[in-house]
């Protein structure tokens, strides 16, 4: 049995923000969301979130977090710490909710990249006569509590930097704060904590000395990578951890066979599943949930959100795709914007400076350049000329344009919806069409062209 306690009450003054500290994002998800997801990887155990500053803000954010909803049933027990009197005091608030026969795992909402593998190893270090403590050795341990060991190498205490002697400050092994302890022992030790220290706070770390006094062995475990236990207290640390997170994402994609032309200029702020032989150029951003088929090429500077891209398709540079579905063998861009509700069928083409919204593009159809097509259904083998727009909004309501198979629309055409262009019809360039066009016919609206001989241009006086 396991109880998971996540400390998330801090104000985060150094973030200089009205947003609760633990809600600041890494990879577009809050730090706290990352920690909760990792906790869930350990099993379907109770998760107790200790809130304080911005408590309602935290609850609202987590309730709307799609990544957590995707985990399925997830019951979070929120516990309010009305006064922030230290980490020991924070865990004290959770004592009534803990099962006395369980192990309590203590995590931190501002340490977002902790790995479930590391935590499982830590939990296995707990017995009836031992607890598990996660430590790490740093070249520069400034600011962290030091691990004090005896001559035999056994941990005997943790000393906070502000309370440490000059000799203790030379210790490089530091406390990460993450530990796993028998809940019954916590029930005994936490009420006995004292705030007789430089900060006037109740330190959770003081239970280490209590454990030693009760002949409880301190078993230390270490993360595989230092970044697992890096906390965030300011914007600089947030940016540093963001790049580490994105680097990890890039490494995973390359391990799965994706070609990243520059892994340091790749951002995945959600999930990305790729087929074989996918090539992604620089500065591409993936948000939400995206799937990419085999043999897909994505050009530089693209933003892709909640989109499926089929096999053998090409997304050219500077294209924005959001909530779209793209079939096999399509070509899009450069500088195209496909807005939510756009669906492309096989062999469709969207050219440069084209915008679509809530539009179905049929097989083999083309919208080549400088056009807007919204609230429309295009059949097969439709050609939309440059500068064409669907006039779908009358100031109050949206209206649909239907373009049937094999229609040719000339350049610089305005199609005033609601309207239907019948199969095989043609619209002459420069037309404004506001009535249905029958199949197989030519429709055009033009004023007669005039020529005035001996015309004199105006001249400046």
Q: Where are the beta strands (DSSP E) in 293-429?
A: 297-298, 303-305, 308-309, 314-315, 320-322, 325-326, 331-332, 337-338, 343-344, 349-352, 355-361, 366-369, 372-378, 383-384, 389-391, 401-403, 408-409, 414-416, 419-421, 426-427
pLDDT of residue 198 exceeding 80: no
CB atoms closer than 10 angstroms to residue 147: 26
Residues 185 and 273 in one domain: no
Residues 371 and 278 in one domain: yes
Average pLDDT value for the chain: 95
Tens of pLDDT, residue by residue over 420-433, are 999 999 999 999 99
Tens of pLDDT, residue by residue over 123-176, are 999 999 999 999 999 999 998 999 999 999 999 999 988 889 999 999 999 999
Residues 224 and 241 in one domain: no
Q: What number is the average pLDDT over the span 110-121?
A: 97
Final residue in a domain of this structure, among 169, 198, 229: 229
> Beta strand pairing status for 279-280 and 414-416?
unpaired
Residues 70 and 204 in one domain: yes
Domain presence at residue 23: yes
CATH at 20: 3.90.550.10
Instruction: State the pLDDT at residue 143.
Output: 86
Cβ(386)–Cβ(412) below 8 Å: yes
Domain presence at residue 450: no
DSSP H or E segment with residue 104 = strand 103-108
Instruction: State the pLDDT at residue 160.
Output: 87
Q: What number is the average pLDDT over the span 100-117?
A: 97
DSSP H or E segment with residue 289 = strand 284-292
Residues 108 and 24 in one domain: yes
What is the DSSP secondary structure assignment for residue 380, as one 8-state letter? Answer: T
Final residue in a domain of this structure, among 175, 204, 229: 229
> How big is the chain by its Cα radius of gyration, in Å?
31
Final residue in a domain of this structure, among 165, 196, 229: 229
Cβ(146)–Cβ(232) below 8 Å: no
Residues 308 and 390 in one domain: yes
Domain presence at residue 158: yes
Number of domains in the chain: 2
pTM: 0.91
CATH at 382: 2.160.10.10
Residues 314 and 436 in one domain: yes
457 contact partners, CB below 8 Å, separation of at least 6: none
Residues 188 and 97 in one domain: yes
Domain presence at residue 453: no
DSSP H or E segment with residue 26 = strand 25-26
Residues 279 and 183 in one domain: no
Residues 271 and 285 in one domain: yes
Domain presence at residue 459: no
Instruction: State the pLDDT at residue 189.
Output: 95
Q: Is the peptide bond before 334 cis (omega within 30 degrees of 0)?
A: yes
DSSP H or E segment with residue 79 = strand 76-80
* Residue range(s) defining the domain that contains residue 82: 2-229
Residues 191 and 295 in one domain: no
Instruction: State the pLDDT at residue 397.
Output: 95
What positions carry a catalytic annotation? 369
Residues 92 and 196 in one domain: yes
- CA 448, distance to chain mean position in Å, is 57
Q: Where are the beta strands (DSSP E) in 146-228?
A: 146-149, 155-159, 173-182, 217-221
Report the C-alpha gap between 98 and 95 in whole angstroms.
5
Token pair listed for 390: 């669907």
């Amino acid at each position: 049995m396991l109880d998971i306690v996540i400390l998330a009450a801090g104000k985060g003054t150094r973030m200089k923000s009205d947003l609760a500290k633990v809600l600041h994002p890494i990879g577009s998800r809050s730090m706290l969301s990352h920690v909760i997801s990792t906790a869930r990887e350990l099993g379907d155990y109770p998760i107790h979130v200790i809130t304080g500053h911005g408590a309602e803000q935290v609850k609202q954010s987590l309730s709307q977090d799609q990544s957590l909803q995707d985990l399925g049933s997830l019951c979070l027990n929120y516990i309010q710490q009305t006064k922030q009197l230290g980490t020991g005091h924070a865990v004290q608030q959770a004592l009534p909710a803990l099962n006395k026969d369980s192990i309590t795992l203590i995590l931190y909402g501002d340490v977002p990249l902790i790995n479930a593998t590391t935590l499982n190893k830590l939990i296995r270090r707990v017995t009836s006569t031992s607890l598990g403590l996660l430590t790490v050795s740093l070249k520069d341990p400034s600011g962290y509590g030091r691990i004090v060991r005896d001559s035999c190498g056994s941990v005997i205490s943790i000393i906070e930097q502000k309370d440490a002697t000059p000799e203790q400050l030379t210790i490089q092994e530091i406390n990460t704060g993450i530990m796993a302890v028998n809940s019954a022992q916590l029930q005994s030790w936490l009420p006995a904590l004292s705030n007789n220290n430089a900060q006037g706070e109740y330190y959770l770390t003081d239970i280490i000395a209590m454990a030693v006094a009760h002949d409880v062995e301190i078993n230390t475990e270490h993360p595989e990578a230092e970044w697992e236990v890096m906390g965030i207290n300011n914007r600089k640390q947030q940016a540093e951890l963001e790049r580490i997170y994105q680097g990890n994402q890039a490494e995973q994609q390359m391990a799965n066979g994706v070609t990243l032309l520059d892994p340091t200029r790749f951002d995945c702020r959600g999930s990305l599943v790729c087929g074989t032989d996918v090539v992604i150029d620089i500065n591409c951003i993936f948000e939400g949930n995206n799937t990419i088929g085999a043999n897909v090429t994505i050009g530089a500077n693209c933003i892709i959100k909640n989109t499926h891209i089929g096999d053998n398709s090409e997304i050219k540079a500077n294209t924005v795709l959001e909530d779209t579905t793209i079939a096999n063998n399509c070509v899009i861009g450069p500088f195209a914007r496909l807005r939510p509700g756009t669906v492309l069928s096989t062999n469709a083409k969207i050219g440069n400076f084209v915008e679509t919204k809530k539009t179905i593009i049929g097989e083999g159809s083309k919208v080549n350049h400088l056009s807007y097509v919204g609230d429309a259904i295009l059949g097969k083998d439709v050609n939309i000329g440059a500068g064409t727009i669907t006039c779908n909004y009358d100031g109050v309501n949206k209206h649909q344009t239907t373009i049937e198979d094999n229609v040719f629309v000339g350049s610089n055409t305005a199609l005033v919806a609601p309207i239907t262009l019948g199969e095989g019809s043609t619209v002459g360039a420069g037309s404004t069409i506001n009535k249905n066009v029958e199949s197989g016919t030519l429709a055009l609206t033009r004023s007669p062209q005039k020529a005035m001989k001996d015309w004199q241009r105006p001249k400046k006086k």
